[in-house]
Structure 1
Amino acid sequence: MTTATTTTTRRRRPPVPVLLLIPSVVFMTALFLWPLVVGIGQAFLGEDGPTLEFVRRMVDDPHFWPSVGNTLLLLVVLIPLQFAFALAMALLLRAKPRFSQVYFYLWVVPLAVSDLCAGLVWLAVFTDQGYLNSLLDLLGLPTYPWLSFASYPTMFLAVLVAELWRATSLVLVIVVAGMQSIPRDYEEAAEVFGATFWQRLRHVLLPQLRPSLQVALILRTILALQTFAVAQALTGRDFPLLVGETYQWYNLLQNPNVSAVLALVVLALSMGTAVVYLRVLRDRTSTEARP
């Protein structure tokens, strides 16, 4: 009887992996699932029950569609530039020039700078009496109101440059870590067989960097959709972004319901782009793996 009871107890005991996952499940439920449920409730529940009133107020707001357009435009322009710069810097570091470690530490300095501080730094550059106009004046060139509401292209350029400086270092660190795991034997073998630099980059390095690039792409896209402090410091509401509008509705307009709808829009865009990236990269990988 004792042996049978012990055997039954062992069979009923939850497996070790399940026990190890319980803290993570509780943690994710407390920090993600429950706030998500509350946010959905705020977005679609009014005093009289389910309603789309807050969605209509969001859509009818004159800043909503410009914020969507600005966010997507920033995403489309910023991400390719960041990856191009990060890949170029990583390739330079891989060649191990003189003072390469100094270059690396200088390039990752922006990681230690907060979003708001980065915005204030670039505000000192682009403001009417800032460093850029002072330099232009010193050189005898005409100055320009870079952050003027009447000049949309220069406002976008200022936000783009500030975000490019602030966040490219994150992509660089991920790409450098991925390159360190790639043996140089593949490149040397390709070089022996006459492959040019661009051929080695396309057919040797980039395929092996795909996992790192995938992680960096998803992270940067999600963070680009959440761009707020830099644009807020530089342009305020003259260059509206989705997360900035979420802040405006919640803090200044004191309407958490519309703010919750905007937050769900950002969440949907983030999850949608992540799924697309995973799908596209997975399909390419599986196609190349076929004999």
Structure 2
Amino acid sequence: MICQDRVVVVTGAGRGLGRAHALEFARQGARVVVNDLGVARDGSGEASGGPAGEVVEEIRALGGEAVANGDDIATEAGARAVVAAAVERFGRLDVLVNNAGFLRDRMLVNLAEDEWDAVMRVHLKGHFLPLKHAGAYWRAESKAGRPVDARIVNTSSGAGLLGSVGQGNYSAAKAGIVGLTLVAAAELGRYGVTVNAIAPAARTRMTEEVFAQTMAAPAEGAFDAMAPENVSPLVVWLGSAESRGITGRVFEAEGGHLCVMDAFRHGPAVDKGARWDPAEIGAAMKELLAQAPAPEPVYGAS
């Protein structure tokens, strides 16, 4: 019960990873706002409260407390409303898990502008706006003299860290979430808020086709390494008081594998002490690249 009585908002919690996170938070004693629009895998279709409502019923069947929320978190009003839903129903907010998203996969030369915009909106803007309004709430609490021990867990992806062929829009959005995480961690720490990101790998509605093509189903009774429930313990721990002081980090989670990602950092360098001539760059760069590790391959690259 490491999240006993903590109040948690999970966006995109009607299915897949978000549902698994919401259920695990509830098992660990949290009260949960289950946010989901209930649209199709690619974000199309009419909004429906069905998926969020079903997760709420599952939580209540476990003896937990939860409320469904159908606000569009990629709008200013919707993001403000989902934070207000937690405060109004449960009296406060302790944890925000930004998880909502969908895919519009295309090779870059076939990627339409609206497919780019839609993915950027749900992933990147859909992280920024809830983060902004939750951060504003915690800043006000801190300035009012009320203690804050809050957490934000953002959802990036291996695609955002290494790139993924056919997912230029998704990779760019997920990389942007890492940058947003680093800035938010630096800005919100003074108010008692930590901000971290995960890069999960799991079989969900978004990824089931890929896994069906590349991986055999686990044998009956065997550990299912791609089950979304495997990622949730890390998310719940990051949302707990135990993770205090850990901020600005990106964690990879897949099956039983946990990894602290080592992102961009200053590597080999040379300083001439004066302006370079373009003709000099080649030799200098050859030496620098010889000292630097080779980049990891982009997912899907031959």
TM-score range, shorter-chain basis? under 0.3
Q: Given the two structures, how large is their TM-score scaled by the length of structure 1?
A: 0.27
Question: Structure with the greater relative contact order (CA < 8 A, sep ≥ 6): 1 or 2?
Answer: 1
Q: Hey, which of these two has a bigger chunk of strand by percent?
A: 2
Q: Given the two structures, how large is their TM-score scaled by the length of structure 2?
A: 0.26
